[in-house]
Amino acid sequence: MIPATRVYLLLILGIAIAPITAIFFDIATSINLTLVFDVIVLILMLVDGWLVRRNRVEVTRELLPRLSIGRDNLVVLRVKSANTNAIVQISDYYPSSFDVSTPVLTTTVPSNSTQELDYTVHPNKRGEFPWGDIQVRQLGSWGLAWDNRKIPQSLKVWVYPDLVGLRSLSIRLTLQSSGSMRQFRRQLGIGTEFAELRNYRVGDDLRFVDWKATARRVSTTNAPPLIRVLEPEQEQTLLILLDRGRLMTARVHGLQRFDWGLNAALSLALTGLRRGDRVGLGVFDRQMHAWLPPDRGEHHLTSLIDRLTPIQPVLLESDYLGAVTHVVQQQTRRALVVVITDLVDATASAELLAALSRLAPRYLPFCVTLRDPLVDEMAHTFTADVTAAYSRAVALDLLAQRQVAFAQLKQKGVLVLDAPANQISDGLVDKYLQLKARNLL
């Protein structure tokens, strides 16, 4: 039980009126009257606290079984009142490392009703976290005492990669596959496998009119010509190598670069599986830390998520040649090999350049680098401050050195995608769809 603000105000009032009572009574009587007043206030507070215990609210928590890193995850607290109106303050013991939208929730619940309160948590790290009980304070009917208690609701929660982003991407891919985004697919390019016949539409390429099928149809009806719809070739192999070395430990927009890379790797894996490809994924540092051989199907994506979620980046220099050698030994047929990492310049990243060059032309190497948008902002912000000017000069030099390294990669037949870490997933998926549509693999 905790005294409410009203109790302290009444006690102060008792002290304030003591000089007034002293005018009509002697000092001893005035003191006794003040003490009696304070005792009455305290007794009423105890009674108020006892009464509220008879009408305690019920509070339950609902949250997703798997939280997404870097996202606002909704938490719902359901409050059910008894026979009286209830004024409550609720503090949930979420993991201390999470950012939270509303630490303390306050509401008034009408009698015999249920009210839902919600807030969001924003985890910045993957893994398992303890979630504690629910602290509830309920104000008594007279406003003199708070009933303070804990409701047992402790549990363990897992923070996964960006599952919210994967669900959004899944919907997008479904819309594309259903044909409602054919305009987008025409922008990407022309496939090589026959998918279906459909009626001619304004703007369609006349080269894809199926004249034989149209002739058979026209002989019986005045229907429009039939168009052959071609889709990218299926059942190719996509191999993703995700670096978890020193360069991937830096934080970009609140998450480690490795987390952005992991989100991009899973988005690419989902897209590849939806396009019928066999997808394999490896995580490496000085050695191949985890390797999941190429496979198909939605179950494979679940295996990837479960296997990769506990993995964290380490402060070790990555062995790119070792990772590429592992791929060459495991995959003898041609495949698209995507290496998700970062580079500094041509000199510091010489091993990466040599490793990717080893893949061409037998494989199709694709280097994906996660740039820090703060470096871009610093490089493109003019300043008159001397210290900031030096920082800008360093940022411009870093970007120039990256471009030199990318130019060397392109000369050796390596595809390159360099984008801010927090935007890499969408760019990587779009680039992959372009490769598939143009049948470059």
pLDDT band at 63, cuts 50/70/90?
Answer: very high
Average the pLDDT over each of 66-70, 197-201, 417-421 and give the range with the smallest value. 197-201
pLDDT one-digit tens code per residue, 224-276: 888 877 665 556 899 999 999 999 999 999 999 999 999 999 999 999 999 88
DSSP 137: E
pLDDT one-digit tens code per residue, 143-190: 898 899 999 999 999 999 999 999 999 988 888 766 544 444 444 445
Q: Which CATH superfamily is domain 237-437 in?
A: von Willebrand factor, type A domain (3.40.50.410)
Contact by Cβ (8 Å): 410, 366: no
* 209 SS3 class: strand
Nearest-angstrom CA–CA distance, 237 and 335: 5
- Each as own residue / partner, the long-range contacts of residues 37-40 (CB below 8 Å, 24 or more positions apart, any chain) are 38/11, 38/14
Mention every residue, 6+ apart, whose C-beta is less than 8 A from residue 381.
392
pLDDT over 70 at 73, yes or no: yes
| Other beta carbons within 10 Å of 120 | 14
pLDDT one-digit tens code per residue, 104-131: 999 999 989 999 999 999 999 999 999 9
pLDDT band at 193, cuts 50/70/90?
Answer: low
Q: What is the pLDDT averaged over residues 48-58?
A: 88
Q: What is the pLDDT averaged over residues 280-286?
A: 96
Pick from 357, 352, 338, 365: nearest CA to 402: 352
Residue found under tokens 């807030």: 119
Ramachandran bin of 85, using left for φ above 0, alpha for ψ from -120 to 50, beta for the remaining angles: beta
pLDDT at 294: 94
Q: What is the CATH number of domain 58-159?
A: 2.60.40.10
Mention every residue, 6+ apart, whose C-beta is less than 8 A from residue 330.
280, 291, 293
pLDDT mean across residues, the chain: 87
Mention every residue, 6+ apart, whose C-beta is less than 8 A from residue 228.
194, 197, 208, 209, 210
Average the pLDDT over each of 119-133, 170-184, 281-295, 408-422 and give the range with the smallest value. 170-184
pLDDT at 283: 97
pLDDT at 173: 86
pLDDT at 383: 78
Pick from 326, 407, 402: nearest CA to 359: 326
pLDDT over 90 at 326, yes or no: yes
For the chain, which residues make up each domain, given as ranges?
A: 2-53, 58-159, 197-231, 237-437
Name the pairing type of β-strands 114-122 and 99-100. Answer: antiparallel
Average the pLDDT over each of 281-285, 334-338, 380-384 and give the range with the smallest value. 380-384
pLDDT one-digit tens code per residue, 296-320: 988 999 999 999 999 999 999 999 9
Pick from 416, 374, 408, 419: nearest CA to 392: 374
* 149 SS3 class: strand
Pick from 11, 2, 6: nearest CA to 38: 11
Pick from 405, 289, 281, 270: nearest CA to 337: 281
* Global confidence as pTM: 0.79
Question: What's the Cα-to-Cα distance from 327 to each of 48, 208, 211, 236, 336, rounded to whole Å?
Answer: 72, 39, 46, 16, 11
Q: Give first-to-last CA distance, the chain, whole Å.
A: 70
- In terms of average pLDDT, the best of 60-74, 179-193, 209-223 is 60-74
Which residues are 147's β-sheet partners?
138
Name the pairing type of β-strands 237-243 and 336-341. Answer: parallel
Pick from 262, 260, 244, 409: nearest CA to 317: 244
306 CB burial (10 A radius; 0-12, 13-18, 19+): exposed
Nearest-angstrom CA–CA distance, 271 and 173: 7
pLDDT over 80 at 26, yes or no: no
Token pair for residue 105? Answer: 């929730």
DSSP string, 261-295: HHHHHHHHHHHHHHTT-EEEEEEESSSEEEEEEEE
pLDDT at 188: 41
Read off φ and ψ for residue 254, nearest 5 degrees.
90, -15
pLDDT at 185: 45
pLDDT at 234: 56
Read off φ and ψ for residue 341, nearest 5 degrees.
-160, -155
Question: What is the share, in percent, of the chain residues with pLDDT greater than 70?
Answer: 93
| Other beta carbons within 10 Å of 23 | 7
User: How many residues in the chain?
Assistant: 441
